[in-house]
Structure 1
Amino acid sequence: MTSVIDPHHLQPSSSWWERQGDLIMRRPFNEWTFTHMNWLLPTERVARGPVHRPLPGRSRPLDVTYDFGGAELSLADLHRRTFTTAFVVLHRGELVHESYPGAFAGPRARFQLFSLSKSLTSMLVGIALADGAIGALTDRVIDYRPDFTGTAYESTTLADLLAMSSGVGDIEQWDVPGTDIKRFEEACLGRGSVEDVLRSARRTGAPGERFNYSTLDAQLIGWVLEAATGKTLARYAADRLWSRIGADRDAYYWLSRSRPRTAIGGGSFNATARDVARLGLLMAHDGVLDGEQIVPRDWVARSGVRDVAHLAIGALGSSGYDHYGYANQWWTLDGGAYTGLGVHGQYLFVDPAADVVIVKCSAWPTEDDPERDRETVAALRAITARLSGRSASLVA
């Protein structure tokens, strides 16, 4: 574990300390911070394995346009309008296109993935179930973390957490002081306790009945994983997943400055864009790589489930966009595609039927942006349609 900034040498009363979260997240700083989180916060390494598997294929220009807002736009327009920093496209397991428009980006840069980390955490839960470390999705949080007895999470099951349907916490509003997510961010950066934030969250509904997007729920999933496996999230990710995918580089989680230091399973994973694409390949190919079942097949299928009424596309309510549904820590789309999402424009888009995987890292000016999200989805779906329809003539 490494730390570049020692919080004991900072002045808690300084304006920088009060505003550090905003400074890290805002343009123009975020193009640098999103590729250098290990310079800003403590980290724990997620080690790659001894075998490197280069992605087959090679990058070529991708002649695709997409319609948005009444205009026909190019990928160059997409990157300019949505502040793309990295863009990787795989088709049928091969690299067909990559570009790095970000000022500090490149094939070896490791990108802050924010809530896309949740989708990785879900993959680890599926592996832990197959390993027998986790008994069942009907297990309660307190079966693994009895210290949450007496909190709003006492009756919550792992299935509730995975569906963002715990009934705990408020709507995530990053720009409103005092909300759960703002308190969570402040605790991660050293002002308060991350565990206290989760323990103090209020029950706002019955478990399993409504969708309410919650990084707190995802954080608790990570803690359940650690308790069940007896390993840190980084160590379990390395042992059971990252070391097996032929990754280009070690990845890392940044850790909370507050103690006990903890990985943020809902938002602190950092990796190269190519390596994130390798995770997408697993999902597109039923969890199999080179004949080895790494993520259980039934768990991969569960990530595309669309038969829960309050998680259906268009039914998520105020904490989700109307073109998405939700399943197993992934956002679902019409036609069988789904995507991992992170604030400021991080995407791991998977269309299993078309065998297309697209990674887009970005540095949006704000955490959420419905219009930029809609435009990005329109572009990703246009790429998928062209690749699946006329793949041989696509690349010059």
Structure 2
Amino acid sequence: MKKFLQTCCAGLLAAAAVVSAESATNGYLRDVADGYAAETAYQLRASWSLPKFLTVTPEGAYSYLHLAENFPHATIYRAGPVVELPRKPERWVKTQEITWQDKKQQFHDLITAQDSPLQGAVVIHRGKVVYEEYPGMRPFDNHVWMSNAKPVASLLIAQLQEEGRIDVNKTVADYLPAAIGSDWEKIKLIDVLNMQTGLDLEEGPEQRANPNSSFARFMVAEAGLPNVDGVRETHNQALLAIVKLREPGSAFEYSSANTQMLGLVIEAVTGQRLADVVSERIWMKVGMEGDAQLGLSPQGNGIIHGLISSRLMDMAKFGMLYTPSWNRVSKARLVSEKALNDIRTGGQPENYPRGVLGPKLQKLFAETPRANAYQWDAVFHDGDFYKGGMNGQGLYISPEKDLVVAWFANGFSPVPMEKAARSLALAL
């Protein structure tokens, strides 16, 4: 039995580690831009599995738009009038030339190419929608954010910090009694926010493919599956079992486990479920077009590190909260000047190349970001910042240029959208 579980777990994790340019030939996406036929939907749902969700498959593409059919979800509620942003298409966005590895391609051609996995892209400049395209989804579809959801947790922490309810220089155990006795106990919240805890939790292809890794155990617990030892842990048990590897503050070690810990701290401080906190503090205060959804683990935890689903325009409106045009979508300023400054000046530049993700993003952007900070993957020297999600989701913010670029996909594009978004900002 143990050998069987090891084989299943190893297969699941190996599949999760497969995210390559070759797998991004998703012509089938172009066939579903207007929705799925009923029989097709039934078939894709019936053959869904976690590996097919984590890698690039027709079943995965379907579930990215209908994740509540596969995971239990809580609702993140909207309220009040919908803010209709003015549409003013600008030709320079469509024709902006993206140069990457001796290739040149215009922005619009990148989005709409037949072999592109891009399902939707929105560009907002000075509060106006200057580009909007949905080659693989409908504007009203709720699409999973994947790790683009991580800054939602960091924004909630920043709000609680300004209210005096959280001090990011205090430890996890100061707010979460369950962490006492674990290796999380003495980790400062700022090190969790900046993904430099020193714990054995880094998230990358090697860790996903190794069923004995702490991150792999965390991932299978999230899905309600038994680990390599045949034990079915709760999400929190797997999270709190992660052990110390090195001293905090020494490397940028990207991991969804960090964000999940922030979620537990937020619930402990507020006494509310995460979905309710996001509803009341963010979603209901912005003129969103629709309700969002938050995926739940089998024990009921909100999976704040990745399983938020919403319309693309609403994710872009979340991005606008970090720009001078925040007042186009919200009466109250939800991202303070201090919170914005913490992102743009925080992090430790010397730690950025020490880990898996930093060097990867240096290559994708063809430049070296200043650092990572507050759950954002890349903060540039000019103050722009970016967050990405598995299989090609992205959110790029330029406060200085009052620019938001947001996109959904089901696979990494042969020409990275990271480079494309950065090119738009630099062209202004």
TM-score range (shorter-chain normalised) is: 0.7 to 0.9
SS at match of 1:304: helix
SS at match of 1:137: coil
SS at match of 2:265: helix
Q: Which residue, 262, 275, 287 being the options, matches 2:301?
A: 262
Q: CA deviation at 1:82?
A: 4.7
Q: Taking structure 1 as reference, are residues 307 and 186 closer, same or farther at Cα in structure 2, changes over 3 Å only?
A: closer
Residue 163 (str. 1) matches residue 203 (str. 2): no
Distance 1:360 1:124 in 2: 23
Q: Which residue of 2 aligns with 1:111?
A: 143
Q: Which residue of 2 aligns with 1:25?
A: 54
Distance 2:182 2:162 in 1: 29
Q: Which residue, 218, 221, 230 being the options, matches 2:271?
A: 230
Q: Which residue of 1 aligns with 2:375?
A: 329
Residue 198 (str. 1) matches residue 254 (str. 2): no
**Deviation sequence 1:118-150 (CA, Å, 0-9, x none):** 111111111122333x33111211112111111
Q: Give runs of aligned pairs for residues 354-373 of structure 1, distance below 5 A.
A: 354-364=401-411, 372=414
Residue 87 (str. 1) matches residue 131 (str. 2): no
Unpaired runs of 5+ in structure 2? 13-48, 226-231, 363-367
Q: Give runs of aligned pairs for residues 307-346 of structure 1, distance below 5 A.
A: 308-312=348-352, 315-320=353-358, 321=360, 322=362, 323-324=368-369, 325-330=371-376, 331-346=378-393
Q: CA deviation at 1:14?
A: 12
Q: CA deviation at 1:202?
A: 1.4
Letter in 1 for 2:121: F
Q: CA deviation at 1:272?
A: 0.9
Q: Which residue of 2 aligns with 1:6?
A: none
Is residue 211–residue 310 contact of structure 1 (8 Å, CA) maintained in 2?
no
Letter in 2 for 1:225: I
Is residue 311–residue 327 contact of structure 1 (8 Å, CA) maintained in 2?
no
Distance 1:167 1:345 in 2: 27
Is residue 285–residue 331 contact of structure 2 (8 Å, CA) maintained in 1?
no
SS at match of 2:344: coil
Unpaired runs of 5+ in structure 1? 1-11, 389-396
Q: CA deviation at 1:378?
A: 2.0
Distance 1:363 1:159 in 2: 32
Distance 1:243 1:227 in 2: 21
- The structure whose residues are more often helix, as a share, is 2
Distance 1:306 1:153 in 2: 22
Distance 2:6 2:160 in 1: 43
Normalised TM-score (structure 1): 0.85
Q: Which residue of 2 aligns with 1:153?
A: 184
Q: Taking structure 1 as reference, are residues 149 and 63 closer, same or farther at Cα in structure 2, changes over 3 Å only?
A: same
**Deviation sequence 1:54-90 (CA, Å, 0-9, x none):** 1122446622221111121123442345511110000
Distance 1:153 1:249 in 2: 37
Distance 1:57 1:280 in 2: 17
Is residue 138–residue 159 contact of structure 1 (8 Å, CA) maintained in 2?
yes
RMSD: 2.5
Q: Give runs of aligned pairs for residues 5-16 of structure 1, distance below 5 A.
A: none
Q: CA deviation at 1:111?
A: 1.2
Q: Mean alpha-carbon deviation: is it higher for 268-277 or for 174-183?
A: 174-183
**Deviation sequence 1:221-244 (CA, Å, 0-9, x none):** 010001001111110010011101
Q: Which residue of 2 aligns with 1:185?
A: 219
Letter in 2 for 1:66: I
Is residue 201–residue 257 contact of structure 2 (8 Å, CA) maintained in 1?
no
Q: CA deviation at 1:209?
A: 2.4
Letter in 2 for 1:202: V
Q: Taking structure 1 as reference, are residues 232 and 291 closer, same or farther at Cα in structure 2, changes over 3 Å only?
A: closer
Distance 2:183 2:419 in 1: 39
Q: Which residue, 72, 75, 78 being the options, matches 1:48?
A: 78
**Deviation sequence 1:323-361 (CA, Å, 0-9, x none):** 342011112134321112111111110011111100011
Q: CA deviation at 1:262?
A: 0.5
Q: Which residue, 85, 94, 100 being the options, matches 2:134?
A: 100
Distance 1:344 1:151 in 2: 32
Letter in 2 for 1:349: Y
Q: Taking structure 1 as reference, are residues 130 and 334 closer, same or farther at Cα in structure 2, changes over 3 Å only?
A: closer
**Deviation sequence 1:299-326 (CA, Å, 0-9, x none):** 12211125623345xx343342233420
Normalised TM-score (structure 2): 0.79
Q: Give runs of aligned pairs for residues 42-81 of structure 1, distance below 5 A.
A: 42-59=72-89, 62-79=94-111, 80=113
Q: CA deviation at 1:13?
A: 12
Is residue 82–residue 376 contact of structure 1 (8 Å, CA) maintained in 2?
no
Equivalenced residue count is 363
